Amino acid sequence: MTQDTFARPHLPDPSTAPELFAGLLTRRASAYIIDVILMSVLVLAISLVGTILGFFTFGLAWVSLIFAIPAAIVIYYAATLGSARRATVGMQMMDIVLTPTRGQPLDGWMAILHALVFWITIWICWPVTLLFALFTPRRQMIHDFIMGTLMVRRSPMLRHWQRMRMAEQDAYHSGE
């Protein structure tokens, strides 16, 4: 059992901690829109620089855009979801955070994989992915189940984990 698993042995339940899931789908949709806008600005800036540099490099920079644009998006997810905050800029603005549910750390590679699975499931069948979240108690989407993650509100989550740790400590001390 890892330290992360020991600190959080049980997933939060919407019936006992509804504040973690209040307005979550609306917040996720808003965060997605903010992130798409930010990534669009990033892609536009890279495209503009690549276009200008293409004239000076006899078209070589234009070819590099094929790799630079996807790399920028991957780096965005790795740097934001893979950071200690575990949230993209849009998620931070909407007060939500990505939490691993299987005890493994959420590092840059896991963040990249999470984003990749998200985009694949959205491209394959976005209505099913969205409907899936409407009928799961923790508002998890298909990619959350596949990757073993959970999206919750950040500020109530901190208070929730503190309560859980205190309850575990009380149970441990009363069993001595």
Share of the chain above pLDDT 70, in %: 91
Q: What is the pLDDT of residues 26-38, one digit of tens each?
A: 999 999 999 999 9
**Rounded to whole angstroms, what are the CA distances from 80 to 1, 85, 164?**
27, 7, 27
Q: What is the pLDDT of residues 75-91, one digit of tens each?
A: 999 889 888 888 999 99
Q: Which two tokens stand for residue 166?
A: 């205190």
In the chain, what are the domain boundaries? 23-174
pTM, two decimals, is 0.78
